[in-house]
Amino acid sequence: MKIIDKELVFLDDQLEGEEIVHAERKLSDIAGIFQDESARASMDQDQFAYEVDCHFPVEEGTLGGLFFGITKLYPGKVGDEYFMTKGHFHAESERAEYYWGIKGHGVLILMDRDGNTWGEKMYPGSLHYIPSHIAHRVANVGDELLSFGACWPSDAGHDYETIATDGFTARLKEVDGVPTLIPSK
Ligand code: S6P
Ligand code: ZN
């Protein structure tokens, strides 16, 4: 009867362990997601937009498992639109997810299949249940790093294509200093 230390640690916004997979998204990786694509293209393409560390204890697509990830989204804007994640529906659309705020301030942007878009404020300690069939993306509205956690079913998968093609029906922009959801044109 052994007690083992798996040396898998989640502390503050650091996720560490042998099995952690790291992904980076630079401005060059998120072409087309902002309204002002020429403004994005004119910026330093090596600038980080966000980084994700994930623990994948089972193979992607496995029924019955969970994945756990920490996203670090840098502050910045492309034109008047805040830095944000690509955003996705789950490929298995009937899969929900939890997000929670750890550091910084942001908005979780949500959209249903009918194109209704709304937002939830993210801040240290905020907890967000993302129901199935709801697209989700996060924007950093502060001057500091925004860190948030996520936990989702290992068979959820990601449908990035629908958002890449159709986008969300609203964009989060700074209007008179205030983060505001503006209908997409
Ligand atoms: C996965 C979960 C997060 C995102 C991450 C980056 O289901 O929602 O780990 O992958 O926040 O966002 P995106 O939209 O580029 O995957
Ligand atoms: Zn997701």
The per-residue pLDDT for range 27-54, each reduced to its tens digit, is 999 999 999 999 999 999 999 999 999 9
> How far does the centroid of ligand 2 lie from the alpha carbon of residue 151, in Å?
8
Residue ranges lining ligand 1, Cβ < 6 Å: 52, 69, 71, 85-88, 97, 137, 150, 152, 158
Average pLDDT, the chain: 98
Residue 105 sits at the vertex; the CA angle it makes with 99 and 109, to the nearest 5 degrees, is 50
Question: Distances in Å between the alpha carbon of 135 and those of 5, 92, 114, 118, 160?
Answer: 37, 12, 11, 11, 9
Pocket test for ligand 1, best of 22, 25, 50, 52 (most atoms within 8 A of CB): 52
Distance (Å, whole) CA 146 – CA 98: 16
Instruction: Evaluate whether 93 touches 177 at the Cβ level (below 8 Å).
Output: no
Q: Looking at this protein, which amino acid is placed at residue 114? A: D
> How far does the centroid of ligand 2 lie from the alpha carbon of residue 129, in Å?
11
Distance (Å, whole) CA 185 – CA 183: 6
The proportion of the chain whose per-residue pLDDT surpasses 70, expressed as a percent, equals 100
Structure-token pair, residue 114: 């009918």
Neighbours of 111 (CB within 10 A): 23
CA of 69, closest atom in ligand 1: 9
First to last CA, the chain: 62
pLDDT at residue 185, as a whole number: 76
> How far does the centroid of ligand 2 lie from the alpha carbon of residue 1, in Å?
37
Residue closest by Cα to atom 2 of ligand 1: 150
Residue closest by Cα to atom 8 of ligand 1: 150
Give bridge partners of residue 14 from the DSSP assignment: 11
Residues in the chain predicted with pLDDT less than 70, given as ranges, are none
pLDDT at residue 19, as a whole number: 87
> How far does the centroid of ligand 2 lie from the alpha carbon of residue 85, in Å?
11
pLDDT at residue 1, as a whole number: 94
Backbone torsions φ then ψ of 168, nearest 5 degrees = -90, 160
Backbone torsions φ then ψ of 66, nearest 5 degrees = -130, 150
> Looking at residue 83, what DSSP letter applies?
P
